A and B are shown apart, each in its own frame.
Chain A
Amino acid sequence: MSSLRILVPVKRVIDYAVKPRVNRAQTAVETANVKHSMNPFDELSIEEAVRLREKKTTPVEEIVAFSAGPAKSQDILRTAMAMGADRGIHVVVEEKDALEPLSVAKLLRKVVDENKSNLVILGKQSIDDDAGQTGGMLAGLLNWPQATQASKVTIEGENVTVVREVDGGVETLKTKLPMIITTDLRLNEPRYASLPNIMKAKKKKLDKKTLGDYGLDGDVRLKTVKVTEPPTRQAGVKVDDVDGMIGKLKELGAL
């Protein structure tokens, strides 16, 4: 096993620049008519997979992009393919039946088996549920080594060296394939898909599947009791100069 078969799971989320609004019934965040894009951490995953291919230190046999989500997740998979993934797998899941990280991890375990992947690169968290669990859960289910919050990845043969972001700095780990990596912001700078590549991506293979194809159901463990707006802060004051700022901070008991 001296070549890489990379699986890159991607998620369609509300665009990072949009301020989310809680719906009136307080059951969820409003997603209709809101701009969506690929989870920013997943762009880093695709980019890293493509760079591993370009570096040529270990041959990359295949890069498969995967998403489980509503019909529109296809767009995200096309973007991943335009950035360099070879093909895509889309498990269609309605938005109201959105999967929990544990279910996604169970699904990915099957996808890993099916595609004989030996490296899975995931984002460290999705910016909607901010759970940060899927990568670690998948590693646990497969009993593979994991390197989360990676800021540098070096692969030589089966040996992998990863620098990961930890509290207070970085640490370096050494392990072997097959393994799970989750990406941190510092890992790379994702490329923009060029128009010719976007056109080419339209011809790449995209398999549509269902949870049933993998023998899974959308088991839900966490019931959403409610979703609310965070408390708003009281409007503050503007001061004219540094003395005013110090005075006000003293008044507020912060100094």
Chain B
Amino acid sequence: MFAAARTSVLRSLRTQTQLCHTQSQTAWSRLASTLAVLEAKEGKLNIASLAAITAGTKLGGSITAFVAGSGGKTIAEEAGKAKGIEKVIYVDNAAYDKGLAENWAPLLVENIKKGGYTHVLTGHSAFGKNLMPRVAAMLDVQQISDITEIESEDVFVRPIYAGNAIMTVQSSDSTKVVTVRGTAFPAPETEGGSATVEEGTDPKAESPTEWVSEDLAKSDRPDLGSASKVVSGGRGLKSKEEFDRLMPPLADALGAAIGASRAAVDSGFADNSLQVGQTGKNVAPQLYLCAGISGAIQHLAGMKDSKVIAAINKDADAPIFQVADVGLVGDLFEKVPELTEKLKQ
């Protein structure tokens, strides 16, 4: 009842105050109530998923976080320390450990309806991309994917055409289902918060899908999506042997994560999960240093928000030099080892 009433209040506010936008925004903010869906794996919270909370704080209003999986309560207590959240709802059930959309979607829908949230936010990660459209359709909502900015309670900014255009949209849905770009909303402080922890509803939907196995690339390096420095290699590396010979030492010298272009991934030089670009990972590190990457539109989509871009390429006309802050025209087989040596000193 309460949720329905709030929605209609929002609706009437919106129609009445369409002209005085800034004024009405504050009125909406007081009414916003956000559910930030967090990810956990093997009982551990994925810190990167806290970006949904940062985005939620831009909306004003209350923020409730949501976690599910085995050890749900412990995860909730950990999440509750993040600044900005009022409450964490948890569901403790091993059936949610693998993030299967088939049982997660009914779980979320039930808890969203119960809480009457105006906004549901989650990261635009593999988990969010897989799950949220299913949730949105069940709620009859047109989702807004991969937002980079929040202008008001119902106005969001997102890149389209591989980041070659920026679109601002206004949603008329009563519940906004949104995935957020992690690099655009840095995770909040993970200490100092004091959210209450509460158990959520578990509809215990059966999943017709069974999780069999996973094969994750293991690495001691920083996570590509959130690393402050990234070194990235492309087709110019010529082979997997050269990629493995040149890139890891450079990454180690900088304490950087390793990325790759699609060409390098397709040719088998690097693992798929390292792909940076429109269809791979989006990164926005302090430093993006790339070698042997020409700079195709699809690659630039994933890295052009980096603070500083440095490029080594033997082709002086490569499009990468149009976005690079520092460009070095030269043979990467000479320059990369030299750079690695000098950085070590």
Residues of A that sit less than 8 Å from B by CB: 14, 16-17, 19-20, 22, 29, 100-102, 105, 124-125, 127-141, 145-149, 151, 161, 165-176, 184-186, 221-230, 233-246, 248-249, 252-255
Total contacts A-B at CB 8 Å: 256
Residue of B nearest to A231 (CB): B166
Give the contacting residue for B130; candidates A148, A176, A235; CB below 8 A: A148
Interface membership of B150, Cβ < 8 A = no
Question: In the complex, what distance in Å separates the CA atom of A234 from the CA atom of B339?
Answer: 24
Complex CA gap A27/B137 in Å reads: 27
When distances are taken between beta carbons in the complex, the residues of chain B under 8 Å from A170 are 214-216, 272-273
User: 1/0 contact trace for B309-345 toward A, CB 8 Å?
Assistant: 1101000100001111111111000010011001100
Q: Is the interface of A mostly helix, strand, loop or mixed?
A: mixed
Q: Say whether B37 faces chain A, with CB atoms less than 8 Å apart.
A: no
Q: Indicate if the CB atoms of A224 and B168 lie closer than 8 Å.
A: yes
How many angstroms between the C-alpha atoms of A138 and B134 in the bound complex? 7
Is A16 a contact partner of B298 (Cβ separation < 8 A)? Answer: yes
Whether B326 and A233, one on each chain, are in contact in the complex, defined by CB atoms closer than 8 angstroms, is no
The closest CB in chain B to the CB of A225 belongs to B168
Knowing that A136-B137, A146-B209, A246-B342 touch, tell me 18 more A-B residue pairs with CB under 8 angstroms: A17-B297, A29-B164, A29-B165, A101-B133, A127-B278, A132-B146, A139-B137, A141-B138, A170-B214, A171-B98, A185-B262, A221-B141, A226-B168, A230-B159, A233-B325, A240-B328, A245-B312, A254-B229
Q: Do A236 and B325 have beta carbons less than 8 Å apart? A: yes
Let me know if A133 and B145 touch, CB within 8 A: yes
Say whether B142 contacts A102, CB under 8 Å: yes
State whether A146 and B137 are in contact (beta carbons under 8 Å apart), knowing that A168-B217, A252-B325 are contacts in the complex: no
Given known A-B contacts A129-B160, A130-B160, A241 and B328 have beta carbons under 8 A apart:
yes
Please indicate the chain A residues that have their CB under 8 angstroms from the CB of B160 in the complex.
29, 128-130, 227
Contact between A225 and B327, CB atoms less than 8 A apart: no
